[in-house]
Amino acid sequence: MTAALPAPGTPLGVEVRDLTVRYGRKTALDAVSLSIPAGSITGLLGRNGSGKTTLASVVAAYRRSTSGSVLVGGQQPWENAELLSRVALVRESGDVVDTDTLRTNLRFTEQSRPQFSREVAERLMDVFDLDPSMKPPKLSRGQKSAFGIVLGLASRAELTILDEVHLGLDAPSRYAFYDALLEDYIAHPRTIVLSSHLIGEVERLLEHVVVLDRSRVLLAQDADALRTRGVAVTGPVREVDRFVVGRTVLGRQQLGGTAQATVLATLDDGEAAGARAAGLELGPVPLQDLFVHLTADGATEAAAEMGRVR
Amino acid sequence: MFDGRDPIYVQIADQIRQDVLRGDLQPEEQVMSTTQYATTFRINPATAAKAFAQLVDDGILYKRRGVGMFVAPGAPERLRAEGRESFFAESVDPVADQARALGIPVEDVVARLLARAAQAPGAAAGGAP
């Protein structure tokens, strides 16, 4: 029926097939299929209400699916205690015991997480300037997030899902988080799913990207490949208009005689040289902008061209 | 850094090629490890590894098992030969086009090139030793 779990410490991948989750009449996930490669840092991106948190909750067995299948390391997560000791979901809500100190909360996590590193926990408590004798209700929004990050990274779970853990963190703390994440991920490879609205900040950390939009998978692909899908073309209005004929235009701006169009296209060297010869400048489209264009209302056609997951 | 149109791994590889061309990295010199590169520039290690793999394939770097990556002997010469092929199309032609657009006589451009070349260290030898 299900495969045996790999050895402890082996990164766990995720396979989701035709997953549907309904809350009463509302469909949170609609026949979603995607893969999260084992050992990757995968970005889970989407607008509010796109289904990210629902997906994370089903994968980590906080919630049941309505139909379809989810496999983590080849096994179903629901009521699978052995598997779930290797799956950590850090949610915005924190999931900590409010009546106990941070120190005690850390000990609870240590007891349930076979790969837990006390050394990482202590170091990160210092980095984020958290006092172990405090209780969760006394923490600020940023401190709550920071403590979630401490639990999530120190657990070293073979599948670690960090859902919007940056909320309330100032920029230096967020960069301390990115540094700690990369460092510990390199030393102890695992699968990390990072859900964030700060795409510009996290995009270079990502190897793989899944974008959800309105309860469906908009795209799931290699982050580097995704970055080359868009191109910003700037130049004389006439030349820009000529260039975009037959291409999918995500956005267009005009200032006097100069226009800029954001186009869905991967140009080969010949096309790029031709465009430059026509007086056009070619620039990158940051992942953040591509995301905004693709998930904007009425962008469904462009999204269809990007191609749904395999 | 790393905000060009190319995938990040291509940009990383280009950066290292430039370092070798300029002599900032010498043949047989050890380059940063994938891990160091990833943490220094906050980049996914798989992305950094892809860049290094490309450079090994191109004969710019080579691996010493258990030690790390090193600049291949002959790498600067190889890069220079490749660079010469694309230099006129990629660098000179756009300058010529832009000069024409700005109404700068080509003689002025040539004079500037000659003056610049005369200033460069080791100008007559044609580059770093």
Among A197, A225, A253, the domain boundary falls at A225
Asked whether residue A191 falls in the same domain as residue A265, the answer is: no
Q: Is residue A249 part of a domain?
A: yes
Residue at A9 is within a domain: no
How far off is chain B from A36, nearest CA to CA, in Å? Answer: 15
Shortest CA distance from B45: residue in chain A = A186
- For an interface test with B, give the residue of A182, A193, A196, A268 to mutate (most B CBs within 10 A): A182
Pairing of strands A41-46, A26-36: unpaired
Which pLDDT score, from 0 to 100, does residue A270 have? 84
Q: Residues A218, A303: contact at Cβ < 8 Å?
A: yes
Last residue within a domain, chosen from A184, A201, A225: A225
pLDDT score recorded for residue A300? 59
User: Which chain B residues are within 8 Å of A182, Cβ to Cβ?
Assistant: 38-39, 42, 44-45
Note whether A204 and A239 are same-domain residues.
no
Same domain, A52 and A178: yes
Q: Are residues A76 and A200 in the same domain?
A: yes
Cα Rg, chain B, nearest whole Å: 18
A194, A66: one domain: yes
Helix axes A118-127, A171-187, angle to 10 degrees: 160
Q: For chain A, what is the domain count?
A: 2
| Residues of chain B falling short of pLDDT 70 | 1-5, 122-129
> What's the confidence (pLDDT) of residue A303?
60
Token pair 């790498």 is found at B75
pLDDT confidence of residue A305: 62
H/E element holding B68?
A: strand B68-71
Q: Tokens 């050394």: give the residue.
A: A119
Q: Is residue A3 part of a domain?
A: no
Q: Are A188 and A251 part of one and the same domain?
A: no
Tell me what pLDDT residue B123 has: 58
Tell me: do A255 and A210 sit in the same domain. no
Domain residues for the domain of A242 are 228-306
Sheet with strand A230-236: strands edge to edge? A248-255, A258-264, A230-236, A281-284
Q: What is the pLDDT of residue A120?
A: 97
pLDDT, position B5:
58
In a domain, A27, yes or no: yes
Q: Name, in order, each residue with C-beta under 8 angstroms of A44's C-beta and a sequence gap of 6 or more.
A: A52, A55, A56, A161, A163, A193, A194, A195, A210, A212
Q: Which chain A residue's Cα is nearest to B38?
A: A182
The number of angstroms, rounded, from the C-alpha of A6 to the middle of its chain's C-alpha atoms is 24
- Are A74 and A195 within one domain? yes
**Nearest by CB to A224, which of B3, B7, B89?**
B7
- State ipTM: 0.80
pLDDT per residue of chain A (310 residues) written in tens, 0 to 9: 567 888 999 999 999 999 999 999 999 999 999 999 999 999 999 988 899 999 999 999 999 999 999 999 999 999 999 999 999 999 987 789 999 999 999 999 999 999 999 999 999 999 999 999 999 999 999 999 999 999 999 999 999 999 999 889 999 999 999 999 999 999 999 999 999 888 888 989 999 999 999 999 988 989 888 877 888 999 999 999 999 998 988 889 999 999 999 998 888 888 888 888 888 988 888 888 888 888 886 665 566 666 543 3
Do A197 and A297 lie in one domain? The reply is no
Do A190 and A232 fall into the same domain?
no
Contact B57/A at CB under 8 A: no
Q: Are residues A208 and A95 in the same domain?
A: yes
Whether B121 and B129 have beta carbons less than 8 Å apart is answered as: no
- Strand stretches in chain A, DSSP E: 14-23, 26-36, 41-46, 67-72, 87-90, 159-163, 191-195, 208-213, 216-222, 230-236, 248-255, 258-264, 281-284
Question: CB B47 to CB A207 under 8 A?
Answer: yes
**Does some domain include residue A7?**
no
Question: Whose structure tokens read 């056009």?
Answer: A280
Residues A134 and A262 in one domain: no
Say which CATH number the domain at A289 has: 3.30.70
Strand-pairing partners, residue A32, are A19
Q: Which of A177, A194, A225 is the last residue of a domain?
A: A225
Within a domain: residue A137? yes
Q: Which CATH class is domain B8-73?
A: mainly alpha
The answer to whether B75 and B20 are in contact (CB under 8 A) is yes
CATH of the domain at A154: 3.40.50.300
